[in-house]
Chains A and B, each alone.
Chain A
């Protein structure tokens, strides 16, 4: 059981480049979430999904898109990266309210 995995672990982008972060879970959880973690700001919800094929906006969705084509995967896309998107990104999945987190992706946008 791998739990929640995230790919990649680290990435450096130049302003304007695009990328996709992959979150995968093998626990058959319905709910999946993407957060960003910034110093002094805590964890802020970007987008989430309550089931395969569904997505919803969180607290800070601007500049990001998501897709949940398969139950086990939740993709986070940055179409045109900006320095303000430099952050650590965490994915989580949950059967209900207890969330299981991935190890995080450290993204730097220069």
Chain B
């Protein structure tokens, strides 16, 4: 069975500080992992996927198969990063989402 865990429901950091949103997964196959973001009053949208190894809006995420983790990181947080972040795992023709982390960037 697929399972995604985001241990932090809320995360608050100051502008300019580093940010790390944690994500752990459980999956028997080869995982395809994603981060989705939901800004206030907007629909969910894809932020990044592990296979592309891109940096989007300064965020990166590395898949660590040994630790079954896919943490999202940004070295210097900006106020516009405040949003709800969801980690998701693709398998068996569907995405399984974690519980989400609400990130608040304080000025």
Contact = CB atoms under 8 A, between A and B. Distances in A.
Contacts of A45: 94-96
Interface stretch (B41-49, B63-71, B75-83): B41-49
Contacts, number: 47
B90 A97 contact: yes
The bracket for how many chain B residues form the interface is 20 to 34
A33 B36 CA distance: 16
A98 interface: yes
Interface of A: 31, 33, 35, 40-45, 48, 50, 58-59, 90, 92, 97-99, 101-104
Contacts of B36: 99
A43 B100 contact: yes
A45 B86 CA distance: 14
B44 A97 contact: no
A26 to B, nearest CB: 15
Contact of A104 (B9, B43, B45, B94): B43
Interface of B: 6, 9, 32, 34, 36, 43-46, 49, 86, 90, 93-100
Contacts of B97: 35, 42-44
A58 B95 CA distance: 10
A47 to B, nearest CB: 10
A101 B43 contact: yes
Contacts of B95: 33, 45, 97, 99
B44 A58 contact: no
